[in-house]
Amino acid sequence: MSSSDSTPGTLPRHVAIIMDGNGRWAKNRKLPRPFGHREGVKALRRVVQHGIDRGLDAMTLFAFSSENWRRPALEVKLLMELFSVVLRSEMKRLMDNNARLRFVGDRTPFSPRLREAMIQAEETTGRNTGMTVVIAANYGGRWDIANAARELAVEVAAGRLQPEDIDAGLIQRHISLADLPEPDLFIRTGGEERISNFLLWQMAYTEFYFTDCLWPDFDEAALDAAFDSFGRRQRRFGRTGDQVEQRGA
Ligand code: FPP
């Protein structure tokens, strides 16, 4: 699916977020890093609820990258525990809000219990028709593209597909989240201005918004500020500004 054009004041349909700055938030308060992650869960709850209230179609949140395994073992353990706890504690809220929960990423390294909880959550919320909340867990954009390439290679090897038939549209159909609108807006908190192997394919035309705000401090007003910035941008998708204005007129 393609992204929507944005005219002034329009909201994004799909927002992708890198929730960065939990560790620094804790350090600023002389607290251990886990406190930052716990506070980060509160921000996650606020932001998802606000996305639901503002009528977004989807939100994709980067909870754990394929590179995050390099962190100290204790921090990785704590993050895994936090995922399990949050999964259980948020189900009612998601159901009450008619929201769907999905996961994207390679689940194989997660514990069988966590994997089971992920499947359960997806099944329980699967028939809801409101906002889709996607948690990117052990996700990497390059992993995603490599997966799509492998699936197509299998088709070619089986003689069901000719190499010359492979184009961007076909890759798109094999990439994660192909059934959702492409992210219109990407937000990264915590001051770094990079996409860190997030949705590399999906964000070809996404508007980027970076803020110094540390993730645990991110709230409804901060999300609205990002929406306002998005609403003021002219998205051209390769066309000229004049062409876009004529189409919008
Ligand atoms: C980045 O901050 C944050 C993470 C790697 C984890 C994100 C997790 C949460 C917000 C809470 C749990 C999420 C779910 C889905 C239950 P950082 O630790 O890299 O911060 P720093 O850059 O200041 O060190």
pLDDT at residue 67, rounded to an integer:
86
91 lines ligand 1 (CB under 6 A): no
Best of 215, 217, 218, 219 to mutate for ligand 1, by most ligand atoms within 8 A of CB?
A: 215
Ligand 1 neighbour 84 (Cβ under 6 A): no
51-68 pLDDT per residue, tens: 999 999 999 999 988 889
Task: Tell me whether residue 156 is in a domain.
Answer: no
Does any domain span residue 247?
A: no
Active-site residue flag, 68: yes
Confidence bin at 239 (pLDDT 50/70/90): confident
Task: Please compute the mean of the pLDDT values over residues 3-13 and round it to a whole number.
Answer: 65
Give the whole-angstrom CA distance, residue 220 versus residue 234: 24
- Flag whether 20 is in a domain: yes
pLDDT band at 9 (very low <50, low <70, confident <90, very high): low
Number of folded domains that form the chain: 1
What is the Cβ-side half-sphere exposure of residue 84, based on CA atoms within 13 angstroms? 13
Q: Find residue 100's DSSP bridge partners.
A: 132
Residue of the CA atom closest to atom 14 of ligand 1: 83
176, part of any domain: no
CA atoms of 179 and 15, how far apart (whole Å)? 15
Q: Give the domain range for residue 109.
A: 14-140+182-234
User: Would you say residue 168 lies in a domain?
Assistant: no
More confident residue, 247 or 130: 130
pLDDT exceeds 70 at position 21: yes
Is residue 4 predicted with pLDDT exceeding 50? no
Angle (deg, nearest 10), helices 112-125 and 73-96: 20
Whichever domain contains 110, its CATH number is 3.40.1180.10
Between CA 56 and CA 15 the distance in angstroms is 8
What is the distance between the alpha carbons of residues 188 and 17, in angstroms, rounded to a whole number?
6
Name the residue with the closest Cα to ligand 1, atom 12.
Answer: 41
- Note the pLDDT of residue 248: 64
Question: Would you say residue 36 lies in a domain?
Answer: yes
Burial zone of 240 (CB within 10 Å; 0-12 exposed, 13-18 middle, 19+ buried): exposed
> Is residue 3 assigned to a domain?
no
Q: In what order do the strands lie in the sheet with 185-188?
A: 100-104, 132-139, 58-65, 14-18, 185-188, 207-210
Question: Residue 105: CB within 6 Å of ligand 1?
Answer: no
Q: Is residue 133, in this structure, part of any structural domain at all? A: yes
C-alpha distance from residue 78 to each of 20, 30, 226 (Å): 17, 18, 30
